[in-house]
Amino acid sequence: MTRMLLLCVGLCLVPLCAEAAEFYVDPANGSPTGDGSTSRPWRTIQEVFDAGLVESQQWDKLPYTVQSKLVARNAGAPVRAGDTIRLRSGYHGDLLIDKYYNSGTITLAADEGHTPQLSSVHVRSGCHWAIRGLTVSAEFSKTYQRHTLIHLESHNWGGPVHDIAVERCSLCSVADASVWTADDWDRLSCNGFQVDGSRMTIRDNRLLNVNFGISVGATDSLITGNLVENFAGDGLRGLGNHCTFEYNTVKNCYKVNANHDDGFQSWSTGPGGVGTGEVVGVVLRGNTIINYVDLNQPYRGTLQGIGCFDGTFVDWVIENNVIITDHWHGITLLGARNCLVINNTVLDLNTTTPGPPWICIGKHKNGTAPVNCIVHNNLATAFNDATGVLEESNLKITNLAALFVDANHLDVHLLPDAPAIDAGSGTIAPKLDRDRIPRPQGKAIDIGAYEWHANDVHPVEEKATWK
């Protein structure tokens, strides 16, 4: 009886978790002296941080070292872990969140029906932030300046970033670049995302008229469902270990400078510089990379699809990707170990040089041959693999009309009588196709990124937001 009484008293002394709160920021109707309520909103999100209204944590001393400890920052401030700050329509300026290490996630989100505008978002040295539904463009500021639109930065002095999600945001250098010259593209286009740190999520964002699209040096991160449309550098970059890039669309490359443009690019670094290290455990799944969708696009160049030229690339899986480009490099890994390239569709819509694009796992630039790599169930215009690569159940494209629904209009789903139907091997094939249709739908796996299916078969999961 006494023990039970003590237990009940102890439970009563445990503080209950406060309910998550919501705060509001309104550039048109808010005030720096508001309380963040819906009737008395604050004015801009940067003013909220500058006024110390967010309770968080920071390092006890700088520069940051692994021995640094987190201590309270702005103790007792109204916004706390678990809360949401809702941004209303209007211009919020440039946002810098510097050295805010939250104990739980704080969300910055567009209020329902609102379109908050910012020139840039920069999270430097922090964690547990969720950023949703913002519109970020360099043309919102009074003076146009080229910069990175959203930068999630680990800093040598301030510390690392980790556990940050950016979702459903719209990024652009300018909304309309149709009057830009090649020189304008080269000088003015902003980079979209620069992502450092670890355990980062970049989901369902739209990037328009940018230089480099989404550049990821982070590890253990997810980049999914994003659209990069009209770009002058590389669409996606992945330099960190154990990252997944899935169901992204990259299209319309503008050739305006000497950069060797790639839909996706990676390279290693090590003690001897570029090409002397390893990039480990990357997954490229269900991405669509298209050189151009309009024959009349200005400054149309030749885009390398998945171009990874300075390995060693270790334990990669490249599956269900669709690459439509005008170059030799459809999917290329130079220097690889234990990599799987399976059920991809790679093609060129013209017969001019450069091209046709190939799938190639080849030697490292130092001459080291690939080890234990597999190229399997792919549909491509060419294959060019080295010793150390097992090729099985691949099909070379020789007649677009015999395979695809409408390749001239970029529909490369299979026809019901295509020779790729039931021609693949199911031993190690992905269980879903590019559209998340279960495999197989016939007697065997289909070759390429798409599994032919009847109209009453539906994806097992919803596809990416942007198309």
- pLDDT tens readout for residues 321-345: 999 999 999 999 999 999 999 999 9
Of 307 and 426, the one with more pLDDT: 307
> Which H or E run contains 9?
helix 2-13
Nearest to 121, CA basis, from 44, 221, 189, 62: 44
Number of domains in the chain: 1
Beta partners for residue 122, in sequence order: 96, 151
Q: What's the mean pLDDT in 219-225?
A: 98
pLDDT of residue 461: 76
Residue 252 lies in a domain: no
Which whole-number Å values give the CA distances from 274 to 146, 268, 313, in the listed order?
27, 6, 13
Is 14 inside a domain boundary? no
Summarize pLDDT for 109-137 with one digit per residue, the tens. 999 999 999 999 999 999 999 999 999 99
Looking at the predicted structure, is the pLDDT value of residue 98 above 50?
yes
Helix (H, G, I), strand (E, B) or coil at 22: strand
20-69 pLDDT, tens digit each: 999 999 999 999 999 999 999 999 999 999 999 999 999 999 999 999 99
Residue at 114 is within a domain: no
What's the pLDDT band for 288 if we cut at 50, 70, 90? very high
369 phi and psi angles, rounded to 5 deg: -75, 155
Residue 6 has a pLDDT of 37
Whether the per-residue pLDDT at 13 is higher than 50: the answer is no
- Domain of residue 382: give its range: 258-467
Q: What is the pLDDT of residues 417-437, one digit of tens each?
A: 999 999 999 889 999 999 999
Contact 450/433 with Cβ under 8 angstroms?
yes
DSSP 97-163: EEEEEEEEEEEEEEPTT--EEESEEEEEEEEEEEEES-EEEGGGSSS----EEEEEE-BTTTB--EE
The band of 9, judged by pLDDT with boundaries at 50, 70 and 90, is: very low
Asked if residue 126 belongs to a domain, the reply is no
In a domain, 235, yes or no: no
Q: Residue 388: what pLDDT?
A: 85
- Evaluate if pTM is beyond 0.85: yes
Among 195, 268, 258, 259, residue whose Cα is nearest residue 226: 195
Place of tokens 């110390």: 52
pLDDT tier at 88, thresholds 50, 70, 90: very high
pLDDT bin (cut points 50, 70, 90) of residue 18 is: low
